[in-house]
Amino acid sequence: MTTRQSKRLPAPYPLSRDSPFADGYDIQSEATTLAHLIEADEPDMDDPLYPRFLEYCTRVEQLQKAQTRRRLRDYAEEVVPDHEAAGMKQIGTLVGDGVDTMSLHTREAYRLFIGRSGDENRGHGEISGKKCGAVLRSIWMLSATDNPYADLVLIQTTERIEKVRRVLEAEIAAKTRTLDQIQQRGLKLSVMRSQRPLDVELGFRSPYGYMVAELILDFDYYARMIKTLMVKSQMTDTEGRAALFGLGRQIRSIFEQLIPLQKRLLDERLKSLCRGDWASTDETARKRVQAATALFGELPRDIFAGDRLPRHTKRRVDLSPAERELLQTMPLKPEAGTDEEQELL
């Protein structure tokens, strides 16, 4: 560290190449040197370092004003005039000009999309892909509050959807090879399609809704392949119905598991859960962690630390190195609660 006598300054001040000031004033070094005056309720005016303390206070105020100005200008570069910097807050969000739709050819796929209401004869009914998309959107929105269990549910659901889509892709490829082999023998068979395919409006407001739509669309083409092979006598009716039911059931199970998870995540007693609760000494926060862990299980470390994020998330955090270290080392399993604390469960 070097010092110099500045015409602007009454005494030598420590300098730093990393200084935010044009004259190189080292505010971090001064904060250490002047700690006894900075921390004092009433700084001693007779202290020989008091003039430097006054300069330090002036510099702190300058930095605060500069930071406020940068924030108000949305951190635009200085060459940008204020009225242009203000445009960041004025620019509108992106909207679609048209209506998003998908074309379905089979009743089985359409049933997955619209679901089935329950009654005395049919039981609990079936959750629709439309509702599943809405449920996922609410959990996606909850990820904005830094709720680690929202991240966990989004990750697990995405993995389940991707797993079923891989199975569908493999089955469709196998059935396509069957049709190709038949064609090599001289019998040309085409995949059947509906005389009147139904275009359904999606209306989803999150990326996860479109993920569900693609899953249903894959199943629709799979169902067309299966029905083609049944009609063209390449599969028995029993085999075809079993194939459709098996994969349809896997998709429905993804939809159904989300309803109780959403209900618990959005419960008023747990809705405000966030990663900060694990480090909080607040009793209510501690109970939230206790209840959430009991309901959903202990969080995987990589998800809690933010090393593994959902494919789409609204979580926006800027962590310091110390905060990142804390997330990596903090105990994730809370101490067992008392009977009274189980009321959140």
Between CA 172 and CA 222 the distance in angstroms is 6
Q: What is the pLDDT of residues 188-220, one digit of tens each?
A: 999 999 999 999 999 898 999 999 999 999 999
- In the three-class reduction of DSSP (H, G, I as helix; E, B as strand; rest coil), residue 102 is classed as strand
Burial class (CB in 10 A: 0-12, 13-18, 19+), 42: exposed
Between CA 138 and CA 161 the distance in angstroms is 18
Q: Which helix (H) or strand (E) holds 104?
A: strand 101-104
Q: Provide the pLDDT for residue 335.
A: 66
The band of 299, judged by pLDDT with boundaries at 50, 70 and 90, is very high
Residues in contact with 169: Cβ distance below 8 Å, sequence separation at least 6, in sequence order? 218
Q: Which residue matches tokens 């619209």?
A: 114
Q: Please indicate whether residue 121 or residue 57 has the higher confidence score (pLDDT).
A: 57
Residues in contact with 295: Cβ distance below 8 Å, sequence separation at least 6, in sequence order? 264, 270, 345
Cβ atoms of 161 and 154 within 8 Å: the answer is: no
Count of Cβ atoms closer than 10 Å to residue 25 Cβ:
22
Cβ atoms of 258 and 182 within 8 Å: the answer is: no
Least confident of 84-98, 126-140, 304-318: 84-98
The band of 92, judged by pLDDT with boundaries at 50, 70 and 90, is confident
Between CA 292 and CA 275 the distance in angstroms is 12
Tell me the two tokens of residue 264.
Answer: 């618990």
Cβ atoms of 51 and 57 within 8 Å: the answer is: no
Between CA 41 and CA 180 the distance in angstroms is 86
Between CA 197 and CA 110 the distance in angstroms is 10
Q: Which helix (H) or strand (E) holds 14?
A: strand 13-14
| Phi and psi at residue 138, to the nearest 5° | -65, -35
Q: Please indicate whether residue 310 or residue 117 has the higher confidence score (pLDDT).
A: 310
Least confident of 19-23, 90-94, 221-225: 90-94
Beta strands 198-201 and 101-104, pairing class: antiparallel
Beta strands 101-104 and 13-14, pairing class: unpaired
Between CA 248 and CA 226 the distance in angstroms is 13
Closest to 331 measured CA to CA, from 289, 296, 292? 289
The band of 124, judged by pLDDT with boundaries at 50, 70 and 90, is confident
Q: Provide the pLDDT for residue 329.
A: 82
Average pLDDT over residues 152-175: 97
Q: What is the pLDDT of residues 221-259, one digit of tens each?
A: 999 999 999 999 999 999 999 999 999 999 999 999 999
Q: Provide the pLDDT for residue 5.
A: 40
User: For residues 73-99, b (16+ Cβ closer than 10 Å) or e, as one string?
Assistant: beebeeeeeeeebeeeeeeeeeeeeee
